[in-house]
Structure formats: structure tokens, C-alpha cells
Structure 1
Amino acid sequence: MNLFKFWQFYFHLPVLVRLLLTVLLTMFLFGITIHLIEPNHFPHIFDGIWWAFVTGSTVGYGDYVPLSTLGKVIAILLILTGGGLVTFYMATISASTINHENELSKGSITFKGKNHIIFVGWNERTKQLVKMITERDIREQIVLIDKTLSNLPYSKNTVHYIRGDASEDEVLEKANIKEAKYAIITSDPSKQERQADQTTILTTVAMKGNNPDLYIVSEILTKEQVTNATRAGANTVIRSNDFMSTLFFHELFRDTPVKPFDVLLEVLSSQQFEQLLLPNEMVGKTFLECSDHYVAKDFLLIGMINEEELKLNPSFDIKLKSGDILVGLSKLK
């Protein structure tokens, strides 16, 4: 009964583990056998095991050689069995490695990490985000969920790809949604605006339901769906159409030859937004005094959050209170 349980346990082990155990057991048996047959030439069991590994792997250093006829017969059997096992083991490792990378490229492998960022949708926006994170050496693990890609070469990207619909629990489980820290849901460019927004909202609901603590940034195209996205659980809603429309308007009706938005975007690409809790020494100071204080520290103050309300470019005379949060730009580190 105990032997049956052992074999049952053995055959439930992964293939690579079973092969490794078989190779080790074979080498140990041949090593002990040659020690018993030729104790003078192989005085210690380890000498026999060493000879078995060297011979079975076809390395053949020649420091130990069986002298008796029976010992040579054992060596022949070792070369035929042990050599084949070692070769098969190495070939299996190589095949498993290639197969694992292929499965990663196809988006079939479950992500096991924690505190990662989930991107939904593989498009120019997410490509640029991945590029920015990589170039700036921000050590955040990225999981991409997309149902349109047939594969995403793992060796050429720093993201873990999961193929499927991000609104489905099974797909979210593969992305380890419960251990994720942030999620960015981009709008599907292949759908009409209203339909794309509905998909974004549905994905937001699914993600929030699986991880209530997940910080979600959702891209919404139509103004009417912003409230619904917030209700669904989005912490931040990006209205990309409004932003692009503003850029187009100012580009059409600007009077100066300088392109202000090109300059602004270039500046922003070298800066990062930061939020700082107002320090005690700044309580009671004016926004202007606080701004002058942080300019010397290469931190450009552009606004504040007071009682959960964001105020950009507030009056310089406004008095800062304990609990206020400063919003500004700092140079990328």
C-alpha cells in the first residue's frame, strides 16, 4: 500500500521533477554498485557516485575507471541507460523552455506577481506608456490584457501578456487581479464611441468587483458616460476626446508662429506630477509663499487639493491649512 502511494505521488509530480529524480536515483544506484564491486578502486561511495555522473553524462574525465570485467559491464549499462536519461532530461528542459515562451507569447500563462499594473488594450497609448516606463527605468511589473492580439513576443516586450476579454473573471484571475495595484483601461479604437465607453465601464465594474482596493484609470470618449464610469468604480476618468479637441482648437486659432502645445508637451515629457501633503511649517502660509519655497527645490507648484477639491492656479493670497495636498511638477528622477 505504501509503495502504491509512493508511485501515485511520483507520477503526479511535474515531468521535469520526475526526470530529475530518475536521473539522480540511477546515478546513485550505479555509484553504489561500482563501489561494492570494486571497493579498492572506489574506496568511498561518493567516488562511485562521482564516476557515475561523469560517465553517465558522457563527460568522461578518466580519473576513475573500472578495472574488473564486471565493473566494465556495469559501465556499459550506465552509458546505455544513464547517458540516454541525461540526454532526454536536457532535451526535455529545452523543449519545456521553448514551449513556455510560446505560451507566454500567446497569452496563456497566469501571472504570479504582485503590486503590478494592468493595461487593458494594446494600442498606441499603451505602447507609449510601456516605452516611457521602460526608458525611465521605473521598476513596475506590467500585465497586458487584450483579446485582439494572436501573440505578443515575450522576448521583445517587458509586459506579461494575457489574451482575453478583461471583463471576464477568468481572464482577470489570470492577470492576478486581486494582487494588482493599478489598472489602466484604454478605449477600444475598433468600436464606436458609445459602445467603446460601455465596454470600458463594464470592464471597470468587473475589475472593481474582483479587487475593491484597485486604483483604476478609465478612458472615456463621450462626456455623458463620465458619471457612469465614476459610479462603476473608476478612481480617475480621462476624457481624451475633450483634451484632443482643445488641442485642435488652439492649433487652428493661434496667432503666434510658436506652437505652444508642442512646447508644453515636450516640457511635460521631462516632468512628472507629484502630490505632497502640506508640511507643518507651511500651515498658515499663502500659496505664493509656499510656491516660492518649493521653486528653490525644483518643484513647480501648480495647484492644491483642499477638502477633496482640486484647485489649479489658485489665488496667491489663499491661506493653506493642515491636510491640504500640494500638486506640482518635478523633474524625472
Structure 2
Amino acid sequence: MVHHWIAKFLRMHVVLRILLLASLIMILFGYIIHLIEPNNFPTVFEGIWWAVVTAATIGYGDYAPETFAGRITGIILMLVGIAIVSSYFVSLAATAVTMQAAFIEGKLNFKGNQHMIIIGWNERSKEMIASIYKKDPLRKVVLIDETLDEMPVEYKNIHFIKGRANQDDILKKANIHGAQCVVITADQHKSESFADMNTITMLLAVKGMNPKIRCIAEILTSAQVENARRAGADEIIQSNILASSLILNSLSSPSTMASMIDLISHSDNQVLLTSEPFKIEMVGKSFNDAYIHFFNKNIMLVGIKRGEKSLINPSHDFVIKKDDLAILITE
């Protein structure tokens, strides 16, 4: 039984062990001084109070031993107390420094919930994190990357975890079970095909750990789009197609390029392209009726998402169905 408690004590954190040891010593010396000088220390609590202020070298002077045995006890307590108290604060400071270093180096588990996980550090994830912090500084974001040696940004809402996101222990560190969504960016250090295979592997790992979590994946090659869907991607961003489309539009209409970039990015006015379900009263009405409905709310309806297809600027008499989504430009 004694060995069991000793083993439990030794398994505790060093700061907690020193604190418990110091508490036991304070109680012991408080009880001893009460026995030696019961008139000067009428209760054990007053003895403990004297032991604490003596060991901490504060010395209020409200209680002081008067006998030879009491003063010898005080000397012993001061010698022992200084060592223990110093050890406690040194260990506390060392633990704080170690914890801070572990946090910066991406070694600490994330304890929060309803957070976003971004996999991969690059210019896209950098811009996403900056935009999220600008819009909602309290929104928690966990960044997972294996190439970084330390946290790349200093936003208070960011928690960095170093490692490969296709490993279960790394996803557990990011609290994948409590996360709201996952964004997987393509690894620009790899070839396009290998980067897509890496993304699909991460999708399988994420969905294997949390099948219900919403996953947004960046895919570089068209050949891997269906595989990404099979792996569980809820949304697929084909960044190469988007970039090609912008270049072609720039060639045909040079003056519109800046406007298109402002539209698809987080501009200063926070103009966003978003989608939402139509209200039940809009079902059965025409696209023109829906356009006027949103226009009166200072929102522009630009298209309809029906299943996997997005219909941009359909005919005015296009009829809205129950499961359609409105593609909107909103501020």
C-alpha cells in the first residue's frame, strides 16, 4: 500500500510534488511548534501560519518562538523552507518556459472545441488565417504542418501542431472529434499528382477519425477530383482551374481582372461569394422573383446550385426547386 502511494507521488508533475511536500512540511512544523510552545501558539493553525511565513522568508513578526527548542525549530524550518520554496518557484518557472516552448514548437494538444483545422502552411493558409482573425479574432484555428519548426504567426486564436495530418496521433492532438471543419491545402513542395494523393490520404485519415466533419480539400489535377469525393471531401477547390480561368479572363478582358480578384478575395469591404438554402416561400418561384427578393436586401443573386451543378445567371423564368441553393454576393 505504501509503495503504491509512493509510486503515485513519483508519477506526479514535479511542481505538484514540491507543492505537496512543502504543504506537508508546513503542517508538520506548525504542529511541532504548537507542541513546543502551546502558550505562544495556542492552535495548530497559528503554528502553520507561522511556518508558512517563516519558510517563505516573509516574517510578519506576529508570531515568534521564545524558547530555545522553538528557535532551533525555526532555524531548521528556515533552512528547509528556503530550499523547498526556491525549488518550487524555480520548477514553476521552468515548467512555464517549457510549456511555452512546446506551444511554439507545436507539441501541445489542443483542448478546445468547434474549431477549424487548416492542414498545410503556405500563402493560401496564411491568407485564410489572417482573414479569419480579422473577421472574428475569437475563432479558434488549429494549423497542422510537418515542415515548420515553430508557429509561423502570432495571432492569439492560432494553435500550431507539428506533424503529418494523416497520422491518428496528430489528428487527436488537434482534437479532430471536436472540430467543426477541416481545410486541406495542396502541398506546393510536391508534384501535382503526388500532392493530390497526399491530400486524399489526409482526407481518408480525417474522415476515418470523424466521419461527420465537413472537409474542404484543394485538388490540383482534374483526374483526382472523383477520388477526393470518394475519400469524403464535402467541397473540392480546384485551384489550378480557378487560376487558369482568371488568366483567360485577363487576356480577353484586361480591365476586369482587378474586379474579379476583389470579388473572390476578402477585400476591405468583406465582399463574399456565399451560398444558402432558399426559404420555403421561394420554392416554385422564378429566378427573377428570387433576384428581386435578394436585391431588396442589398444582396445579389448570381446563380443556383442544384446538386453538383452550379447554374450561373440562369434564365429569368428558371423555376427554383426545394433543395436548390442560392449563390450570393454579399457584403
- Tell me whether the two structures share a fold, i.e. TM-score over 0.5: yes
Cα distance, 1:272–1:44 mapped onto 2, change above 3 Å: farther
In the alignment, what sits opposite 2:47? 48
1:202 aligns with 2:201: yes
| Partner SS, residue 63 of structure 2 | coil
Q: Supply the distance in 1 between the matched residues of 2:261 and 2:325 (Cα, whole angstroms).
A: 29
Alpha-carbon RMSD: 2.5
Query: Please, what TM-score do these two structures have when normalized by structure 2?
Result: 0.89
Q: Supply the distance in 2 between the matched residues of 1:271 and 1:189 (Cα, whole angstroms).
A: 28
Cα distance, 1:206–1:139 mapped onto 2, change above 3 Å: same
Deviation larger for 240-249 or 136-145: 136-145
Identity %: 37
Alignment of 1:86-125 (within 5 A): 86-125=85-124
Q: Supply the distance in 1 between the matched residues of 2:249 and 2:231 (Cα, whole angstroms).
A: 33
In the alignment, what sits opposite 1:315? 315
| Paired letter, 1:25 | L
Cα distance, 1:175–1:294 mapped onto 2, change above 3 Å: same
| Paired letter, 1:292 | I
In the alignment, what sits opposite 1:326? 326
| Partner SS, residue 86 of structure 1 | helix
Deviation larger for 171-180 or 98-107: 171-180
Question: Cα offset for 1:114?
Answer: 2.5
Question: Cα offset for 1:131?
Answer: 0.9
In the alignment, what sits opposite 1:5? 4
Cα distance, 1:32–1:330 mapped onto 2, change above 3 Å: farther
Alignment of 1:122-271 (within 5 A): 122-152=121-151, 158-254=157-253, 256=255, 259-265=258-264, 270-271=270-271
Alignment of 1:74-93 (within 5 A): 74-93=73-92
Q: Supply the distance in 2 between the matched residues of 1:155 and 1:257 (Cα, whole angstroms).
A: 35
Structure 1 residue runs without a partner (length 5+): none
| Partner SS, residue 236 of structure 2 | strand
Q: Supply the distance in 2 between the matched residues of 1:123 and 1:203 (Cα, whole angstroms).
A: 17
1:281 aligns with 2:281: yes
Contact 1:287/1:320 (8 A) holds in 2: yes
Contact 2:146/2:163 (8 A) holds in 1: yes
Q: Supply the distance in 1 between the matched residues of 2:6 and 2:170 (Cα, whole angstroms).
A: 35
Contact 2:119/2:165 (8 A) holds in 1: yes
Q: Deviations over 1:241-280 (max 9, x none)?
A: 1111111122233254884324434675613344433333
Equivalent residues, number: 330
In the alignment, what sits opposite 1:21? 20
Question: Cα offset for 1:187?
Answer: 0.9
Cα distance, 1:62–1:296 mapped onto 2, change above 3 Å: farther
Cα distance, 1:248–1:258 mapped onto 2, change above 3 Å: closer
Contact 2:266/2:272 (8 A) holds in 1: no
Q: Deviating runs (4+, > 6 A) in structure 1?
A: none
Contact 1:105/1:154 (8 A) holds in 2: no
Question: Cα offset for 1:239?
Answer: 0.6
| Paired letter, 2:40 | H
Cα distance, 1:234–1:124 mapped onto 2, change above 3 Å: same
Question: Cα offset for 1:174?
Answer: 2.6
Q: Deviations over 1:89-142 (max 9, x none)?
A: 111011011111212222222323333222111111111111111111253322
Deviation larger for 278-287 or 179-188: 278-287
Contact 2:249/2:257 (8 A) holds in 1: no
Structure 2 residue runs without a partner (length 5+): none
Contact 1:101/1:154 (8 A) holds in 2: no
Q: Supply the distance in 2 between the matched residues of 1:57 and 1:50 (Cα, whole angstroms).
A: 11
In the alignment, what sits opposite 2:291? 291
Q: Supply the distance in 2 between the matched residues of 1:105 and 1:267 (Cα, whole angstroms).
A: 28
Cα distance, 1:267–1:165 mapped onto 2, change above 3 Å: closer
| Paired letter, 1:52 | A
